[in-house]
Amino acid sequence: MTLSVSSGPGRVTVPDLTNYEQSLASGRLEGLGLAIGKIQNVDSMSVDQGKVVSTEPKAGEKVAEGSAIKLNISTGRVEVPEVIGMSESQAVEAFAKVGLRADAQSSYSDRKSGTVIDQAYPKGTKVPVGDVIRISIARPRPAPTTVTTTATVTQTAPPGTTPTDGQTTPTDGETPPQTPPEDPAQTG
């Protein structure tokens, strides 16, 4: 009689399923004798929506045949970081780190010039990877301008006369206009 001692169920190495579609990842696990565990949606800027971001246990680990493997599937979304108070370049960098882009627009403000004073989505809002987020950058208010208007009034005298206190001066041979004497009967 021969006695064989089993070492138990076989050990299987968890494959790297990063960027696999969920259905393909499930098929690969089943083909290796592993079970599909919990499916968890996670945010990822580097993996497209609906694809595997990671597994638990991690790729490369050895597990017992029949073990359930959790799949972390990308939502294709990321959280918007807080950028208010940062410089424009710091905000652009913060967005780039999570797969977003900034659309910087100037806005007159009394706050420090060049800093972000508003953002289109508040911190923590989930948006698709690659989205463009509008940010407002403080610019100094223009200095008030003063407009001074100067008007010059010029009177033109009729030909042959020279204006002096509203009266005309006769020229060559003309007789000055006479003011009629007051009529004592009309002044009374």
Q: What is the pLDDT of residues 49-97, one digit of tens each?
A: 999 999 999 999 999 999 999 999 999 999 999 999 999 999 999 999 9
Where do the structural domains in the chain lie, given as residue ranges? 11-75, 78-139
> For the segment 97-113, what is each residue's pLDDT rounded down to a tens digit?
999 999 999 999 989 99
Report the alpha-carbon distance of residue 78 to residue 92 in Å, rounded: 15
Provide CATH code, domain 11-75.
3.30.10.20
Domain 78-139 has CATH 3.30.10.20: yes
Q: 78-139: same fold as 11-75?
A: yes
Tokens 């509203």, residue?
166
Report the alpha-carbon distance of residue 127 to residue 42 in Å, rounded: 13
Chain centroid offset of residue 57 CA: 39
> For the segment 1-35, what is each residue's pLDDT rounded down to a tens digit?
665 555 566 899 999 999 999 999 999 999 999 99
Whether the CB-CB separation of 97 and 66 falls below 8 Å is answered with: no
Whether the CB-CB separation of 119 and 83 falls below 8 Å is answered with: yes
Return the pLDDT at 158.
67
